[in-house]
């Protein structure tokens, strides 16, 4: 079966990712979500509640990548974007799930850094090693990467390594900007090869990737910031093994971690 005739579910199973290059957000919702993420980055919290402790604080170097954990605590417009979009139905189609719930969100604001070196690289990594103490084997966990601005080849799109979700755990590091060093240490299984697919998306477009897929991104050399939400999702097949973990502290609050699809 050719890639062109595969269903989203078949593509996700085979490659470890699926890119949906059409908007799942209506223009008004998209504009509100983009404004909300920019406001949270600048320290304006509409709810009066700050995001979870993260690697970014208002006033930090504006050339650095801003990774903001649980920004929806600070602005409900982000929850609205997740619940009123077509994201949940599409996620279910891609994964075959009967239930899809948001359990964690990262707001990512990648500023333009033309002429600088590696300031906003994201190192090659897999998501699940950061989650396994909370979720164990993590069956039914995956990530939706929702673009809140146009993501071009120049703006530092996520880059996926097709098939790498079958390679087992690799020694990756989200925060290590030396991508070549990480890549050199990865033992690619015999018969496979390292290739990369750029996750180029229009504003409102979305991709989905497997918890063990190797991915990263280069710096943003365009003239505009790249805004996105990394929305970590679970299905009915996933149960946390550590309910005391900060990663699932809000799992029972649907105003923060909404169920976005249920059959």
Which residue ranges form the domains of the chain, and what is each CATH number?
3-262 (2.60.120.620)
Q: How does pLDDT run across 150-206, given as a tens digit for each residue?
A: 999 999 999 999 999 999 999 999 988 889 999 999 999 999 999 999 999 999 999
Q: What angle do CA 237, 243, 245 make, to 5 degrees?
A: 115
Closest CA to 185 of 227, 230, 124: 124
- Per DSSP, the three-state class of 131 is coil
HEC sequence for 79-118: HHHHHCCCHHHHHHHHHCCCEEEEEEEEEEEECCCCCCCC
Per-residue pLDDT tens digits of the chain, which is 263 residues long = 556 689 999 999 999 999 999 999 999 999 999 999 999 999 999 999 999 977 778 888 888 899 999 999 999 999 999 999 999 999 999 999 999 999 999 999 999 987 766 568 899 999 999 999 999 998 999 999 999 999 999 999 999 999 999 999 999 999 888 899 999 999 999 999 999 999 999 999 999 999 999 999 999 999 999 999 999 999 999 999 999 999 999 999 999 999 999 98
CA distance 231 to 33: 13
Closest CA to 13 of 138, 132, 189, 163: 163
CB atoms within 10 A of CB 129: 16
What is the per-residue DSSP string for 6-22?
Answer: --HHHHHHHHSEEEE-S
Record the tokens describing residue 35, joined without a space. 């404004």
pTM of the model: 0.95
Q: What angle do the packed helices 87-95 and 8-15 form, to 10 degrees?
A: 60
């Amino acid at each position: 079966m050719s890639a062109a005739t595969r269903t989203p579910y078949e593509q996700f199973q085979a490659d470890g990712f699926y890119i949906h290059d059409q908007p799942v957000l209506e223009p008004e919702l998209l504009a509100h979500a983009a404004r909300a993420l920019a406001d949270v980055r600048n320290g304006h919290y509409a709810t009066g509640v700050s995001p979870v402790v993260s690697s970014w604080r208002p006033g930090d170097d504006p050339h650095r990548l801003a990774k903001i954990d649980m920004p929806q605590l600070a602005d409900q417009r982000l929850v609205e974007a997740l619940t009123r979009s077509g994201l949940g139905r599409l996620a279910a189609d891609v994964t075959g799930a009967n239930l899809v719930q948001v359990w964690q969100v990262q707001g990512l604001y990648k500023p333009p850094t033309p002429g600088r070196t590696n300031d906003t690289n994201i190192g090659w990594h897999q998501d699940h090693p950061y989650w396994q103490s909370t979720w164990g084997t993590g069956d039914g966990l995956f990530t939706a990467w929702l673009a809140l601005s146009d993501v071009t080849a120049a703006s530092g799109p996520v880059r996926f390594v097709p098939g790498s979700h079958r390679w087992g755990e690799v020694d990756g590091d989200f925060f290590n900007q030396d991508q070549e060093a990480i890549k050199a240490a990865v033992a690619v299984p015999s018969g496979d090869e390292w290739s990369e697919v750029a996750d180029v998306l229009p504003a409102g477009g979305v991709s989905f990737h497997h918890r063990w897929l190797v991915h990263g991104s280069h710096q943003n050399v365009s003239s505009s910031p790249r805004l996105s939400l990394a929305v970590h999702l679970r299905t009915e097949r996933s149960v946390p093994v550590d309910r005391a973990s900060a990663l699932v502290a809000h799992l029972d609050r649907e105003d923060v971690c909404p169920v976005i699809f249920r059959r």
